[in-house]
């Protein structure tokens, strides 16, 4: 296509040269008559030579138009060739880019496969760990269930002991008349009772705690304090009974570790080792960081 584009002007010149030579030869002949114009729209009175010249002129015009058209087609073909070459270059660039993208995708796919293998390994390890943890949790729950059942049994036994202690008291005896004036506030009684307890006057402090319980003033704490007064008076069963009342009223108090510890010791003192062991265990389970839990013996 490129060679055709270069040779087209040369062919064109040759054609025009041939036509000019023909016209020159025709003009060399003398005209017998000088009539008619060749360039008019409807020439007349032409000689045979003029007619031939006119006809030849028309053919030249037609040929010129064909040559011009041919030249235009050649130029268009050349432009299309250049456009095709440019398009081919663009396509080559796109092919190269696609090739690079494909290589990058291969690399990414390899990395993804590696990542998937790592994730599958992690999931497998996590699953194995989860199964092991489930078994551990199952064992712990079993132990806790057994502990709760044992504590329920212990409290049932404790109820029986408290009932037995209460049955020993005369039920027909009227409650003793309060030794305190109704004008004395409960706050004052509480301060005085705890002051006597701090001074180890346990027997004197008891009546204050009994009065406060009767007034329903902080019954959980005052039941605990009465239990403490009984405990330090070495009246173990009475101490256990008051500790139990305190727990039933409020089992989230800050003195719970001490209450459980003294309950366990009180059971030990009356020879009930099984209940004592359960309370030691409960103390270590619920309050492991307390000083009472650390001071408690390790028993099965």
User: Rg of the chain over CA atoms, in angstroms?
Assistant: 61
Secondary structure of residue 300 in the 3-state scheme: coil
- Euclidean distance between CA atoms 241 and 159, whole angstroms: 9
pLDDT of residue 171: 40
Task: Decide if 209 contacts 186 (C-beta within 8 A).
Answer: no
Kindly give the confidence (pLDDT) of every residue in the chain, 300 residues in length, as a single tens digit, with 9 standing for 90 and above: 545 444 555 545 555 555 555 544 444 444 444 445 556 656 666 677 777 777 777 777 787 777 677 777 767 766 776 666 666 666 667 667 766 766 776 676 777 777 777 777 766 776 777 677 677 666 655 665 665 566 556 555 555 555 555 554 434 334 456 678 788 899 999 999 999 999 999 999 999 999 999 999 999 999 999 999 999 999 999 999 999 999 999 999 999 999 999 999 999 999 999 999 999 999 999 999 999 999 999 876
Report the helix count and the strand count for the chain, using DSSP H and E. 9, 0
DSSP single-letter state for residue 272? -
pLDDT of residue 63: 75
pTM recorded for the entire structure: 0.45
Q: Which H or E element spans position 70? A: helix 48-168
Nearest Cα to Cα of residue 259 among 270, 269, 245, 272: 245
Q: Assign domain 152-295 to a CATH class.
A: mainly alpha
Cα–Cα distances in Å, from 66 out to 13, 22, 70, 120, 210? 14, 19, 6, 77, 135
Q: Alpha-carbon dihedral of residues 268, 271, 273, 277, nearest 10 degrees?
A: -20
pLDDT of residue 255: 96
pLDDT of residue 39: 60
Structure tokens at 244: 């139990």
Side-chain half-sphere CA neighbours of 254 within 13 A? 0
Q: Where are the domains of the chain?
A: 2-100, 152-295
């Amino acid at each position: 296509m490129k060679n055709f584009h270069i040779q087209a002007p040369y062919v064109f010149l040759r054609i025009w040269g041939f036509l000019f030579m023909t016209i020159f030869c025709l003009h060399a002949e003398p005209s017998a008559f000088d009539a008619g114009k060749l360039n008019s729209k409807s020439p007349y009175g032409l000689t045979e030579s003029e007619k031939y010249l006119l006809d030849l002129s028309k053919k030249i015009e037609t040929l010129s138009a064909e040559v011009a058209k041919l030249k235009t087609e050649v130029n268009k073909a050349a432009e299309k060739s250049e456009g095709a070459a440019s398009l081919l270059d663009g396509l080559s660039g796109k092919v190269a880019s696609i090739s690079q993208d494909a290589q990058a995708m291969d690399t990414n796919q390899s990395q993804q496969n590696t990542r998937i293998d790592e994730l599958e390994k992690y999931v497998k390890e996590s699953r194995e760990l989860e199964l092991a943890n489930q078994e551990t949790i199952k064992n712990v729950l079993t132990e806790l269930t057994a502990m709760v059942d044992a504590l329920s049994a212990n409290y049932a036994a404790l109820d029986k002991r408290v009932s037995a202690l209460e049955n020993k008291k005369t039920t027909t005896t009227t409650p003793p008349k309060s030794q305190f004036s109704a004008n004395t506030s409960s706050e004052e009684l509480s301060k005085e009772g705890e002051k006597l307890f701090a001074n180890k006057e346990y027997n004197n402090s008891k009546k204050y705690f009994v009065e406060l319980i009767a007034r329903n003033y902080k019954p959980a704490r005052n039941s605990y304090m009465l239990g403490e007064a009984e405990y330090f008076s070495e009246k173990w069963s009475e101490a256990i009974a008051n500790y139990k009342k305190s727990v039933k009223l409020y089992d989230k108090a800050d003195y719970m570790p001490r209450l459980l510890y003294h309950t366990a010791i009180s059971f030990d003192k009356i020879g009930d080792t099984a209940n004592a062991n359960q309370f030691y265990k409960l103390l270590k389970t619920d309050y492991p960081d307390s000083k009472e839990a650390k001071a408690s013996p390790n028993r099965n």
